[in-house]
Amino acid sequence: MPNHFLGVKDASIWFGKREAQVRALRGVSVFFERGTLSLVMGPSGSGKTTLLSLLGCLLSPDEGSVFLEGEVVNGLNEVERTVVRQKKISFVFQAFRLFHSLSAIDNVALGFELRDAALPGRMKMARDLLIRFGLGDKLNREPNELSPGEKQRVAIARALAGNPPILLADEPTASLDARAGKNICQILRNQVDEHGRTVVVVSHDSRWREFADRTITLCDGQVEKEKGSL
Ligand SMILES: Nc1ncnc2c1ncn2[C@@H]1O[C@H](COP(=O)(O)OP(=O)(O)OP(=O)(O)O)[C@@H](O)[C@H]1O
Ligand SMILES: [Mg+2]
C-alpha cells in the first residue's frame, strides 16, 4: 500500500491555449512521507513550482490526482480547497512576501489571525515564535529594517502560525548569503525533527542536500531520477 500522505499521481497540467500551450507536468507521480524533508531540484521551467502549487492546493491538475493526508483533494471546489489549505498547508517563498507596513510581530500575528480570527493570545504566540528564531530584539522592526535572512525567519514564523502539518517552500534560500541560507535550512530541518512537520523544498541550492531525506529531480515536466541522501 503506497503512502498517500502527500503527493500527486499521474498528474498533468497544461498552461496557455492552442499553439502557445505548455505541458508543465507530464504524468508525474511522486509521494512525500509524513515527517520528512524532501528536496525538489531541476532546471528552470522543469515544473517545480507547478508541482508545489498542486501539492499546496493552489492549482488543480488537468489529469491525475492530488493526495493530502490520504484524501484525493483535486475534486474539491475552490472554497473547499481554501479550507484545506488554511488548515494544513503553509508556504515560504524566495521573495519573503511580508507585509511591508507591518512590524515583524504584526506580520506573524496576522498569520495567526488569517488562520483563526477568534484565536486569543496571537501577539504572545507571535512573540514566542520570533524569539525562538532569534529575533526577540527585532519584534517591532518593519521588513525594510531587516536583513534578508531575518526577513525569511519572520516569513517562516508567519507560515508556522496555526501549526500547519505541511510546509512548502519555493526557493527559500535563493536570496540569502551562505550563512543565512544555512540557518534557514536548519530551521526547516528542525520543523521536521522537532515538530514532525512534512516539508517540501524546491531549490537549485545544493546545500539543501545534506538537510534532505530525499531528493527528487524534475526535468521537462517529469521526474528524472531520485536518490536518497540519507
Ligand atoms: N501561469 C502560467 N502560464 C503559462 N505558463 C506557465 C505558467 N506557470 C508555469 N508555466 C510554464 O510551465 C513550465 C513549468 O513552470 P514552473 O514555474 O513550474 O517551472 P520551475 O521549475 O519552477 O522553474 P524556475 O526554476 O524558473 O522557477 C514552464 O514552461 C513555464 O513557462
Ligand atoms: Mg519555480
Instruction: Provide the pLDDT confidence category of residue 117 given band limits of 50, 70 and 90.
Output: confident
pLDDT digits (tens, 9 = 90+) for 46-59: 999 999 999 999 99
Instruction: Looking at the CA of residue 171, tell me the nearest atom of ligand 1.
Output: 27
DSSP string, 100-160: TTS-HHHHHHHHHHHH-TT-S-HHHHHHHHHHHTT-GGGTT--GGGS-HHHHHHHHHHHHH
Ligand 1 pocket test target in 8, 12, 13, 15 with most atoms within 8 Å of CB: 15
Longest dimension (CA), the chain: 54
Ligand 2 centroid vs 150 CA: distance in angstroms? 22
Instruction: Provide the pLDDT confidence category of residue 229 given band limits of 50, 70 and 90.
Output: very low
Ligand 1 centroid vs 4 CA: distance in angstroms? 25
Q: What is the mean pLDDT of residues 153-167?
A: 95
Ligand 2 centroid vs 44 CA: distance in angstroms? 7
Q: Which amino acid is at 88?
A: K
pLDDT digits (tens, 9 = 90+) for 177-215: 999 999 999 999 999 999 999 999 999 998 999 999 999
Query: What's the first-to-final CA gap in the chain, in angstroms?
Result: 23
Phi, psi for 30 (deg, rounded to 5): -155, 135
pLDDT at residue 70 in the model:
85
Q: Is the CB of 22 under 6 A from ligand 1?
A: yes
Q: Using CA atoms, how far apart are residues 40 and 63, in angstroms rounded to an integer?
A: 21
pLDDT digits (tens, 9 = 90+) for 63-97: 999 999 988 998 889 899 988 998 899 999 999 99
Q: Is the CB of 44 under 6 A from ligand 1?
A: yes
Instruction: Please report the domains of the chain, with CATH numbers, ordered by start residue.
Output: 35-49+77-228 (3.40.50.300)
What mean pLDDT value characterizes the chain? 93
Residue with cell 514532525: 196
Report the percentage of the chain scoring pLDDT > 70: 96
Please name the residue whose Cα sits nearest to atom 29 of ligand 1.
45
Ligand 1 centroid vs 188 CA: distance in angstroms? 25
